[in-house]
């Protein structure tokens, strides 16, 4: 039997708007449905649509400046993209998962709306430089929101600190009572951590501030696009200097994920402190009912679920960082589809951090601090033993000897079942003749606090200065 000659493809009717995939020309059969489902990213990358459209509008302008599009073509594409934007904003956009991702969905819709000229938009561009651009534009917005969210948490902590500059609290090392501090000092510790976090996100933004568009698929676009002008158009300070790097680099995501992991760790520690303080054993804080839950079986329970989940969310923030690091490891240059796996961890960290930053300010603002219990606890368990040793130092004893003397005092008091404050002057003098009547005033909680007046110390005056500094830092944009 004579073999039937294949029908030449050019014999097919030409259509302004292609059906099927953009690469259908090269393929003799369609995608397996399982493969299509497997490769689709539309379900999660659709959130990039505003940035994809902004990037395409700028690309059309750049193509016109390069003489690739006429002004009329640029304007037709611009109007079409605005129409697509309108549909996406209104929720009427016809998403088609078989078109894989948000880029091809938007481009196809543009072609449907404006006809043949829509097919000119992708000239000299690749989804490889397109996605790198979309992510950087989205990240810029995320970083602004993250900074605002961190500042709101800081502002709440600063406000609570302003109320508690004179509220003594036991300070701990090894989770053992160590020395008295004031509550404001503890709260401000977190403000300074979060300030470093803001700095990390700022640094991430500064390095991400380069335009990848124009890298094309990997080798650079073959049309005379003025990338510097395009960068200015899109608000970037610089252009990426290497097209291979531009399409395979995800450092900007890693830096965001790393900063988010560190911030999550800080907030996890804050949440851990609060859950510990809310136990009956500590009793230093009570959560508002609005930020607690009960038990389905134990009627008496009030659980700090919100704080626990803030603590728990740090796990996903770490996991997302490690996921993207692992995806990137060993990838040959330049673009590989593995890179599509960057999005879900990235978006999950964005959403997780945003949720944590949203719930913390009202939760922190509604805490009730049990300052009476804190003050009592601050003086117990030999909290001012170091101050007794410091007292002896001021009376001329070398610190190591003073430490040994006070160690013996503590041993004696423990054997007698007494606290430091219960010991009489005559009892104390048995350990050192340098101890005088002024000792009692030297080893109170307030004296202990006042003594730590160095910059960064817990003396209320020092804390007031730190509070002013924190206020200034938080106010800084």
Site for ligand ARG, rule CB under 6 A: 41, 45, 101, 127-128, 131, 335, 337, 339-340
Q: Of the listed 10, 174, 296, 337, which one is catalytic? A: 174
Which tokens belong to 44? 């999660």
E strand segments, 110-247: 168-173, 176-182, 210-211, 238-239
User: In this complex, which beta carbon is closest to ligand ARG, that of residue 185 or of residue 250?
Assistant: 250
Q: How many residues does the chain have?
A: 477
Q: Is 295 a catalytic residue?
A: yes
User: In this complex, which beta carbon is closest to ligand ARG, that of residue 270 or of residue 339?
Assistant: 339
Pair 185, 458: CB distance under 8 Å? yes
Residue 405 and residue 402: Cα distance in Å, rounded? 5
Q: Cα–chain-centroid distance for residue 185?
A: 24
Q: Of the listed 122, 185, 295, 314, which one is catalytic? A: 295
Residue 14 CB, nearest distance to ligand ARG (Å)?
A: 26
Pair 190, 157: CB distance under 8 Å? yes
The residue among 144, 148, 181, 45 whose CA lies nearest residue 101 is 45
User: In this complex, which beta carbon is closest to ligand ARG, that of residue 128 or of residue 240?
Assistant: 128
Angle formed by the axes of helices 49-65 and 102-114, to 10°?
60
Residue 101 CB, nearest distance to ligand ARG (Å)?
A: 4
Q: How many CA atoms lie within 13 A of 264 on its CB side?
A: 29
In sequence order, the 6+-apart residues with CB closer than 8 A to the CB of 285 are 274, 277, 278, 367, 368, 369, 370
Pair 117, 76: CB distance under 8 Å? yes
What residue has token string 């651009």? 133
In eight-state DSSP terms, residue 171 is E
Q: Is 103 a catalytic residue?
A: no
In sequence order, the 6+-apart residues with CB closer than 8 A to the CB of 354 are 145, 146, 149
User: In this complex, which beta carbon is closest to ligand ARG, that of residue 142 or of residue 187?
Assistant: 142
Residue 284 CB, nearest distance to ligand ARG (Å)?
A: 48
User: In this complex, which beta carbon is closest to ligand ARG, that of residue 173 or of residue 337?
Assistant: 337
Residue 46 CB, nearest distance to ligand ARG (Å)?
A: 11
Residue 98 CB, nearest distance to ligand ARG (Å)?
A: 14
The three-state secondary structure class of 169 is: strand
- Report how far apart the first and last C-alpha atoms of the chain are (Å, whole number): 80
Pair 460, 182: CB distance under 8 Å? yes
Residue 335 CB, nearest distance to ligand ARG (Å)?
A: 6
Residue 97 CB, nearest distance to ligand ARG (Å)?
A: 12
User: In this complex, which beta carbon is closest to ligand ARG, that of residue 99 or of residue 474?
Assistant: 99
Residue 148 and residue 401: Cα distance in Å, rounded? 52
User: In this complex, which beta carbon is closest to ligand ARG, that of residue 340 or of residue 448?
Assistant: 340
Q: Provide the annotated active-site residues.
A: 174, 295
């Amino acid at each position: 039997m004579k073999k039937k000659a294949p029908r030449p493809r050019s014999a097919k009717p030409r259509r302004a708007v292609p059906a099927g995939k953009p690469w259908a020309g090269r393929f003799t059969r369609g995608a397996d449905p399982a493969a299509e489902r497997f490769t689709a990213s539309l379900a999660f990358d659709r959130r990039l649509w505003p940035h994809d459209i902004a990037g395409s509008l700028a690309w059309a302008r750049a193509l016109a400046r390069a003489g690739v599009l006429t002004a009329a073509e640029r304007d037709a594409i611009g109007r079409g993209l605005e129409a697509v934007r309108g549909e996406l904003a209104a929720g009427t956009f016809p998403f088609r998962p078989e078109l894989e991702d948000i880029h091809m969905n938007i481009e196809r819709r543009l072609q449907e709306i404006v006809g043949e000229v829509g097919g000119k938009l992708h000239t000299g561009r690749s989804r490889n430089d397109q996605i790198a651009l979309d992510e950087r534009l989205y990240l810029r917005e995320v970083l602004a929101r993250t900074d605002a969210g961190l500042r709101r948490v800081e502002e709440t902590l600063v406000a609570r600190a302003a109320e508690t500059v004179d509220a003594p609290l036991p300070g701990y090392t090894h989770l053992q009572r160590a020395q008295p501090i004031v509550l404001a000092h503890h709260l401000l510790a977190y403000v300074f951590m979060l300030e470093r976090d803001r700095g990390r996100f700022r640094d991430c933004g500064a390095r991400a501030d380069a335009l990848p568009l124009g890298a094309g698929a990997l080798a650079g676009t073959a049309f005379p696009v003025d990338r510097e002008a395009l960068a200015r158009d899109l608000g970037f300070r610089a252009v990426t200097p290497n097209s291979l790097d531009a399409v395979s680099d995800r450092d900007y995501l890693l830096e965001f994920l790393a900063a988010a992991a560190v911030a999550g760790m800080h907030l996890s520690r804050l949440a851990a402190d609060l859950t510990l303080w809310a136990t009956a054993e500590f009793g230093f804080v009570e959560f508002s009912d609005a930020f607690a839950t009960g038990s389905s079986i134990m009627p008496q329970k009030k659980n700090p679920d919100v704080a626990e989940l803030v603590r728990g969310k740090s796990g996903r923030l770490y996991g997302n960082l490690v996921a993207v690091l692992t995806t990137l490891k060993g990838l040959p240059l330049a673009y590989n589809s593995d890179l599509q796996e960057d999005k879900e961890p990235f978006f999950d960290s964005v959403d997780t951090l945003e949720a944590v930053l949203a719930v913390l300010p009202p939760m922190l603002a509604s805490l009730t601090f049990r300052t009476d219990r804190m003050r009592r606890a601050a003086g117990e368990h030999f909290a001012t033993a170091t101050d007794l040793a410091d007292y002896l130092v001021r009376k001329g004893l070398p610190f190591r000897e003073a430490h040994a003397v006070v160690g013996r005092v503590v041993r004696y008091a423990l054997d007698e079942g007494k606290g430091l404050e219960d010991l009489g002057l005559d009892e104390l003098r048995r350990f050192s003749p340098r101890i005088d009547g002024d000792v009692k005033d030297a080893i109170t909680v307030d004296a202990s606090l006042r003594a730590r007046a160095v910059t960064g110390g817990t003396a209320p005056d020092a804390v007031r200065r730190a509070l002013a500094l924190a206020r200034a830092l938080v106010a800084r944009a």
